[in-house]
């Protein structure tokens, strides 16, 4: 799976461009472009929350705009952004560009502890067998009420796709996907 950029805005996240921002006042919190030419740091050009490449995560060319990062589940690749952006009491949005042909369950952006109902995750292919939507993007957040959303577009066809999620505490959440 390849990611091009990540931008964090209070209420939005994007991979390939990753943005997190609050819905009411879209303030960019962090932006990871993955345009470094080497090393193990994914620089945050806005908020100073640099990520650390782990496993065999590799910076590669051919992103949606500039470089991308290549990750493999087989070697536990990830970019560790640290313990940031919990969003348990706020509206937020997440947006990410991905390019994948992998049919396994994959987390695109996640803040979650295994075995504990907390955090949030943008994923491809599902989080459990009863809710799996193979080849589709999805979103999960347990706070304050459980939200599970699935897109309708196949995002595992080897083309670049943008996944965008808007989460509102009151229970309204949206997930959309688009293609380059």
Q: Please report the DSSP string for 8-49 in residue order.
A: EEBTEEESSS-EEE-SSS--EEEEE----SSSSEE-BTTT--
pLDDT in tens, 8-53: 433 333 344 455 554 455 677 788 888 898 899 999 888 888 999 9
User: Structural domain tally of the chain?
Assistant: 1
10-residue stretch averages of pLDDT, the chain, 180 residues long: 46 41 64 88 89 91 86 86 77 84 80 74 71 78 77 88 83 76
Largest CA distance in the chain: 43
Domain enclosing residue 21, as ranges: 2-179
Which domain CATH number covers 126? Answer: 2.60.120
Give the tokens for residue 13: 């996240």
Helix count and strand count (H, E) for the chain: 0, 17
Q: What is the mean pLDDT of the chain?
A: 77
């Amino acid at each position: 799976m390849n990611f091009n950029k990540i931008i964090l805005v209070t209420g939005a996240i994007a991979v390939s461009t990753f943005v997190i921002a609050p819905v009411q006042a879209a303030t960019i919190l962090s932006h990871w472009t993955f345009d470094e030419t080497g090393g193990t740091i994914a620089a945050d050009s806005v908020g100073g929350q640099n990520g650390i490449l782990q496993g065999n995560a590799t910076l590669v060319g051919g992103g949606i705009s500039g470089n991308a990062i290549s990750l493999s589940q087989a070697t536990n690749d990830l970019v560790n952004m640290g313990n940031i952006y919990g969003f348990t009491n706020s509206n937020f949005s997440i947006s990410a560009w991905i390019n994948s042909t992998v049919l396994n369950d994959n987390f695109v952006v996640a803040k979650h502890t295994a075995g504990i109902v907390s955090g949030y995750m943008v994923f491809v292919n599902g989080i459990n067998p009863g809710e799996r939507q193979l080849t589709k993007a999805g979103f999960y957040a347990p706070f304050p009420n459980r939200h599970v959303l699935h897109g309708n577009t196949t995002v595992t066809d080897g083309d670049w796709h943008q996944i965008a999620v808007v989460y509102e505490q009151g229970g309204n959440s949206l997930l959309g996907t688009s293609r380059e």
